[in-house]
Structure 1
Amino acid sequence: MDLQLLAALVLGIATIVVVVLRTRLDAFIALLLAALVTGFVAGAPAADLVDHIATGFGDTMRSIGIVIGLGVGIGKILEVSGAADALARTFVRAFGKGREAWAMAGSGAVVSVPVFCDSGYVIMNPLARSIARRKGAGYVTLALALGCGMTLTHHLVPPTPGPLGVAGILGVDLGGLLVAGLAYSVLLLPIVVIYARWMGPRLEAHVSPEVRAQVYGEVTVPAGGGSAPADAPAAESAESPAASPSESPAAALGEPPEGQRPHRVSAFLAFLPLLVPLLLIVANTAATAIDQERQGALGGDDYEPSRVAELLSFVGDPIVALLVGIVLAVYLLLPRWTPRRAVSGWLAEAASSAGLIILITGAGGAFGAVLRATGVGDELAEAISSWNLPAVLVPFLIASLVRVAQGSGTVAMITAASVTAPLLDGLGLSALMAGLACCAGSMVLSYFNDSYFWVVTRFTGLDGTAAIRGWSGITTAVWLGSLPLLLVGSLFL
């Protein structure tokens, strides 16, 4: 491998680590500085480097920025209306007491099949918060289980874009990859729950005061995950027309007019602002897949999607779908006596909390764009493909190293598939196993250059080494768990 590109990668990662852990600057600045350091060391022209940073930031914002803002808004309305509590009670009853982590991991895995995990996590995170609030502890465990449950199916199960791309490049039967990916996800789900239950309580004390106040109200959670003493100081909240995170839903909504019943939200209505956007996105995914299959069957490049597919493509776009969700949340979950000023205040609070998440997520995309543009990922892929390894490990390690180098799991698995495709005959490896190896390898070590890392850790309230131990650790655990599954599968498939 080119030593200059290797040095660029190492120094870029070192910049993030040093700035985040040893300075007063935040992750947003650290990621932008790392992008500059990596680009300069790799020899990128200054004008092109700035363009790569701006393009990477813009592309990331285009795909997830509005979605985060709308999703946080839905979450705020779920919180203040009492809908999140209604959902939490329903989930606990459905899965049984003591199985909340299984509920989060399983529901996350299901949701992430048709929905990008970034969007799905934003939509589902209020459930984890509400369950933790009712228990008085355990938010980190639930947040990690939810996030990594989504990671499994996002990386392993079509119709998410990465596995679809891998299937097309390697010529894998899509149905076979779907079944195998689902099977691997089910087998890896216990690792998600076990790691979350093991590491979560150890990280509760590291949750930021702001997130702790949002989740637990006035309760301060110590390292053991229990409640704080009664005289523990409450987190301060900024003045606004909206209720503070510590207020109960009833207090947030105010007293009903005389003769009106106290406001209660049914579980059915509480689900609608989440379920309708998810169904719209699923319908879009299904319609697109059917149209693509018809186009392939017709063998023509001029195929035009049907009107139904075009309509579903519009209403099922995550931005439109979540816009529908926030309208439903405001008009179905809040009582009629809620003043417009209060609703505006809650949505303003949501936008404020989403701002830093959006900036950091965009900066992660900018760093990944610089890594891709400088050719670090391609160099790693070419180097690992020449090593003498068991056949199934070649695509697995290519995807793993590219993922570490540039952050995007989708890019990692597609790069690995592209490098592996001409090597299949020589490796004696089936296309299906090569595809699974590309997908599984891309799950490794979600960290600073992965936009999903910032979504999960900022919503969870973890920073620095706590974020690495929690989120980077759980993604690496499922990556390791997939390795024996791949070695066994290569004996039969």
Structure 2
Amino acid sequence: MDVQLLAALVIGIATIVVIVLWTRLDAFVALLVAAIVTGSIAGTAPIDTIDSIIAGFGATLSSIGIVIGLGVAVGKILEVSGAADALARAFVGALGKGREPWAMGGTGALVSIPVFCDSGYVIMNPLARSIARRKRQGYVTLALALGCGMTLTHHLVPPTPGPLAVAGILGADLGGVILVGLIFSVLLLPIVILYATIVGPKLEDEVLPEVREAVYGHAHASAGEPGSASTDVALDELPPEDDPAAALGTPPEGAPPHRVGAFLGALPLVIPILLIVANTVATAIEKNSQGVLGDDEAYEPSNFVSAIAFVGNPVVALLIGLILAVYVLLPRWTTKNQVSGWLSDAAASAGLILLITGAGGGLGQVLRDSGVGDALADAIADLSLPGVLVPFLIASLVRIAQGSGTVAMITAASVTAPLVSDLGLSALAATLACCAGSMVFSYFNDSYFWVVTRFTGLDGVAALRGWSGITTAVWLGSIPLVLIAGWVL
């Protein structure tokens, strides 16, 4: 690999670490500075580096910015209406006390099959918060389990766009990829839960104060530090003043008390997810029937699928979810000013997440445009390794270099497509290797890193221990599965 490009990558990463850990500047500034430093060392013209930052920032926010804003707004209405709390009661009650991390990890894995991690995490995070609030502990454990459960199927199971594209590039049977990807996900989920339950409690004290207050509220002040044994109370033992729907105020005289059941409370979450699922599944089926899977330019959607694609677009689906939340979950006496105030609060909380997410996209674009990802891929392809590890490691190194798991697996598939027969691999094994390799070490240049860590309230070393650690743990756990797939498939 070109020494100059390697130096650009190493120094760029070091710049982020130094600024985040040892200065008074925040991650948004660190990412922008690192992007400029990386581009300069890689030999990119200064104006081209700025253009890459702007392009990456815009492209990232164009795909996820509106979704984050709408998702946070839905979460706020779920919170103030008491719907998230009702769902938490039903969720934990159905699975039994002590299995909450399994519940969140498994639910995240299911939701993320058709939904991008960023969107799914924003939609489901209020449930993790509400469960933690009820238990008076364990938010980091639940948040990590939820986030990494989503990572598994997002990287391994079509019709998630990344694995779908890889299957198309390598000519793998889509049904086989779905089946084996699900098997991989089920086998790796215990690693997610084990890591979250071991490391999560150690990071509870590292949660940012504003997030801690948002999660635990008055319960945190009155019941002791979250995570202590004395704080694990039954779900029906919360005092009235901790009612999450207290923000609605006192109902007018003669009006019945406001109560939201789990069924109604689920609608603003379930309806958008079902619409997005319908979009991805219908599109994948029709592409497959036309024989253009992985070739968007040759695809001609029918009128029916076009209609589903419209309502199933994450922006439209979440907009529908927000409208449902406001008109189904809130009582009739809620005023327009109240709703506007809650939505303004949601927008304020989403602002920093959006800036950091966009800056991460800018850094990733600089790394792509500077040629670092391609250079890493070419270097690893020249090594003497077991055949199935070639696409696996290419995807891993490209992921570290530029942050996007989808880009990493597609890059690995593109590089190894001409090599599959020479490596003695089946298209299915090569596909799974590309997808599994792209899960490694989510960190500063990954937009999902910032979504998870900001919502979880982890910063600096705590963010690396929690999120980067758990994604690396499942990556390590996937290595023997990939080797078996290369041997068996």
Q: Does the 8 Å contact 2:287/2:299 carry over to 1?
A: no
Amino acid aligned to 2:65: G
Match of 1:91 in 2: 91
Within-5 A mapping of 1:237-316: 248-296=243-291, 304-316=300-312
Contact 1:136–1:227 (CA under 8 A) maintained in structure 2: no
Q: How does 1:48-197 map to 2 (within 5 A)?
A: 48-197=48-197
Cα distance in 2 between the residues matched to 1:162 and 1:65:
20
- Counterpart of 2:316 in structure 1 is 320
Deviation at 1:267, TM superposition (A): 0.7
Which amino acid is the alignment partner of residue 350 of structure 1? Answer: A
Note the alpha carbon deviations across 1:174-208, whole angstroms, 9 max, x for none: 11011000000000000000000000000000001
Within the candidate set 385, 391, 414, 1:395 is matched to 391
Deviation at 1:316? 0.7
Gaps in structure 1 of 5+ consecutive residues: 229-245
User: Following the alignment from structure 1 to structure 2, what is the Cα–Cα distance between the partners of residues 47 and 225?
Assistant: 53
Q: How much has 1:247 moved relative to structure 2? A: 6.1
Could you say what secondary structure the match of 1:217 adopts?
helix
Listed as ranges, the gaps of 5+ residues in structure 2 are: 232-240
Deviation at 1:303, TM superposition (A): 5.7
1:291 Cα deviation after fit: 2.1
Which shows bigger deviation, 293-302 or 50-59? 293-302
Structure 2 residue identity aligned to 1:283:
A
Q: Indicate conservation of the 8 Å contact 1:201/1:225, yes or no.
A: no
Match of 1:462 in 2: 458
- Structure 2: distance between partners of 1:434 and 1:250: 50
Deviations 1:343-387 (A, max 9, x none): 111111000000000000000000000000000000000000111
**Amino acid in the other structure paired with 2:361:** G
Find the aligned partners of 1:304 and 1:250 in 2 and give their Cα distance.
47
- Give the deviation of 1:171 after TM superposition: 0.9
Letter in 1 for 2:440: V
Task: Note the C-alpha offset of 1:429.
Answer: 1.3
Give 1:266 shift.
0.9
TM-score normalized with structure 2 length: 0.95
The residue that corresponds to 2:438 in the other structure is: 442
Rounded Cα–Cα distance in structure 1 between residues aligned with 2:487 and 2:409? 22
Asked if structure 1 preserves the Cα contact closer than 8 Å seen for 2:154 and 2:160, the reply is yes
Helix, strand or coil for the counterpart of 2:420? helix
Does the 8 Å contact 2:275/2:312 carry over to 1?
yes
Of all paired residues, the percent bearing the same amino acid is 72
Q: Secondary structure at the match of 1:159?
A: coil
User: Aligned residue for 1:335?
Assistant: 331
2:453 and 2:474 map into 1 onto residues whose CA distance is: 18
**Separation in 2, partners of 1:224, 1:112:** 28
Check the 8 A contact 1:35/1:370 in 2, yes or no: yes
Using the TM superposition, give the Cα deviation of residue 227 of structure 1 relative to its aligned residue in structure 2, in angstroms.
Answer: 6.7
* 2:33 equivalent in structure 1: 33
Give yes or no for the alignment of 1:211 onto 2:206.
no
Partner SS, residue 214 of structure 1:
helix
Which one-letter code corresponds to 2:10 in the other structure? V
Q: Deviations over 1:95-124 (max 9, x none)?
A: 111000000000000000000010000000
Letter in 2 for 1:438: C
Distance between the aligned counterparts of 2:52 and 2:292, measured in 1?
A: 38
Q: 2:318 and 2:25 mapped to 1: Cα distance?
A: 33
Shift of 1:488: 2.0
1:483, distance to aligned residue in structure 2 (A): 0.5
Q: Deviations over 1:327-357 (max 9, x none)?
A: 0001111100111111111111000000000
Q: Which residue identity does 2:367 align to in structure 1?
A: L
CA contact (8 A) 1:295 1:301 kept: no
1:286 is aligned with what amino acid? V
SS at match of 1:101: helix
1:138·1:225 contact (CA, 8 Å) conserved in 2? no
Letter in 2 for 1:135: K
Match in the other structure for 1:477: 473
Contact 2:136 2:226 in 1 (8 A): no
Q: Is 1:360 equivalent to 2:356 in the alignment?
A: yes
What amino acid is the match of 1:311? A
CA contact (8 A) 1:166 1:417 kept: yes
Q: What is the DSSP-based 3-state SS (H/G/I as helix, E as strand, rest coil) of the residue aligned with 2:252?
A: coil
Residues 203 and 172 of structure 1: is their aligned pair in 2 closer, same or farther, counting only changes over 3 Å?
same
Question: How far off is 1:301 after superposition?
Answer: 7.1
Stretch moving more, 297-306 or 250-259: 297-306
Give the distance between the partners of 2:405 and 2:109, measured in 1 at CA: 16
Query: C-alpha distance in 2, partners of 1:303/1:417?
Result: 21
* Alignment-mate amino acid for residue 183 of structure 1: I
Q: Tell me, yes or no, if the aligned pair for 2:136 and 2:227 is still in contact at 8 Å.
A: no
Separation in structure 1 between the aligned mates of residue 47 and residue 179 of structure 2, nearest angstrom: 47
The one-letter amino acid of 2:342's match is: W
Distance 2:76 2:286 in 1: 37
Structure 2: distance between partners of 1:144 and 1:13: 23
After superposition, the C-alpha distances for 1:444-492 in whole angstroms (9 at most, x for unaligned) are 0000000000000000000000000000000000000000111122221
- Structure 2 residue 487 is matched with structure 1 residue 453: no
Give the aligned length: 476
For 2:266, the aligned partner's letter is F
Per-residue CA deviations over 1:204-249 (Å, capped at 9, x if unaligned) read 0000110001100031564845578xxxxxxxxxxxxxxxxx9633
C-alpha distance in structure 2 between counterparts of 1:363 and 1:49, whole Å = 13
What residue in structure 2 maps to residue 371 of structure 1?
A: 367
**What amino acid maps onto 2:217 in structure 1?**
G
Offset at residue 297 of structure 1 (A): 7.3
What is the CA-CA distance between 1:295 and the residue it aligns to?
A: 2.2
Task: Give the TM-score taking structure 1 as reference length.
Answer: 0.94
Distance 1:297 1:49 in 2: 35
